[in-house]
Structure 1
Amino acid sequence: MSGHGFHVHGPHDHELEHAAQHGTKDSFSGQIAVMTAILATVGALFSYMGGATQANAGLYKNNAAIKKTEASNQWNYFQAKSTKQALAEQVRDLSADERKATYQAKVDRYESEKNAIKTKAEALEAESINWDKQSEAQMHLHHRWAQATTALQISIALAAIALLTRRKWLEWGMFGVAGLGVLLGGAALLHW
């Protein structure tokens, strides 16, 4: 309301003034308002969980990349030892008989070192695969949380339209979509 005598009423203002003057309670509006507040709160929690799972997925994917790089480094080290072993084998084969034992010892040492390196590289690759799987699982949960949040946002929009139009079928639509959102949130919570 303006202090200069010009007053514009909106539909909401009129309803509030009417309720204040006549002391009537509008159960339809009250029910929609309470449901909207509940849906907004649950939606905020779902949104938080969606963000958390997305962050976890990124961290897990980063861990997978780190382990993959470490495995690659180990395979490069393995290859270097293989090259040294091949050179030692050639020198052994071309050496005089009295020197062959020395080079054979090097060949044996490189073979032993390669086996240890190979075992470590394979373990790092397995860790990388495990981190990748965990990342994918978190992204799946993120999508569930996002679907649940979206359904709740749609139900809030339906609540607003139901309140403005006073259509009971829109209120039931709001409850239906909200129920779907809660089911999707439950699926995310149960890791489905």
Structure 2
Amino acid sequence: MSDEYEIAGPHEHALEHPGGHGGVESDPSAAWMAVMTAILASVGAICSYQSGANENLALYYKNEAAIRKTEASNQWAYYQAKGEKQNLAELGAALMVANAGQEAKFQADIQKYRSQKEPIRAHAEAIEKLVDQDDKASEALMHQHHRWAQSTTLIQISIGLAAVALLTRRRWLRFLSIGVALGGVVTAATAFMGG
């Protein structure tokens, strides 16, 4: 016979008598809440991933817009330089009215610069349209990112509420957890649809 005393902890007592001391049998909704929490954790992980992916894409398009904006600015500077050369040629032609040979050379330069400016302008405007498209794509993706992030937050709150509801056995907390979870799922659906 041993002189040691064995003291049973509360967890052992609960295992020996699960029915009367708050086990799953006494609260069947606890198992349902646990399954809901696991599903919400999975949905939350997907929403978190989508949030990050959308943010990265939004930043990509914003970066592309900035690069193209610089390219367009360079094209406009080139256009302006051709315009300045054209202006100088026009001034030279006006000053060389008495010298027909020189005036003809300046007139040819005027036509050359005028014809060179048009494709440069068209190219700069085309680049600016791409900048606008990239900016709009970035803004739409960023808006969608915010929806995914809101959904993730609501789902995390719901999981926390479910844990507290299981510990405190408060029915109203369970309903609140379910309501917040539904809000998170609806927000995720909105993000998925692009809204």
- 1:90-169 superposed matches below 5 A: 90-95=91-96, 96-169=99-172
- How far off is 1:109 after superposition? 0.9
Structure 1 vs Structure 2: percent identity of aligned residues? 51
1:19 paired residue number: 18
Aligned length, in residue pairs: 188
Distance in 1 (alpha carbons) for counterparts of 2:60 and 2:140: 12
- How far off is 1:79 after superposition? 1.0
The residue type equivalent to 2:56 in the other structure is A
**Cα distance change on mapping 1:66 and 1:9 into 2, 3 Å:** farther
Higher alpha-carbon deviation: 93-102 or 82-91: 93-102
Q: Bigger radius of gyration, 1 or 2?
A: 2
2:52 paired residue number: 51
**Cα distance change on mapping 1:5 and 1:121 into 2, 3 Å:** farther
* Runs of at least 5 residues in structure 1 that lack an aligned partner in the other structure: none
* Runs of at least 5 residues in structure 2 that lack an aligned partner in the other structure: none
**Cα distance change on mapping 1:80 and 1:35 into 2, 3 Å:** same
**Cα distance change on mapping 1:117 and 1:135 into 2, 3 Å:** same
**Cα distance change on mapping 1:32 and 1:136 into 2, 3 Å:** same
Distance in 2 (alpha carbons) for counterparts of 1:41 and 1:132: 32
Distance in 1 (alpha carbons) for counterparts of 2:61 and 2:51: 15
TM-score normalised by L of structure 2: 0.88
TM-score normalised by L of structure 1: 0.90
Distance in 1 (alpha carbons) for counterparts of 2:32 and 2:6: 33
Q: Is the 8 A contact 2:48 2:152 kept in 1?
A: yes
Computed over aligned residues only, the root mean square deviation of the Cα atoms, in angstroms, reads 2.4
**Cα distance change on mapping 1:15 and 1:174 into 2, 3 Å:** farther
- 1:23-38 superposed matches below 5 A: 25=25, 26-38=27-39
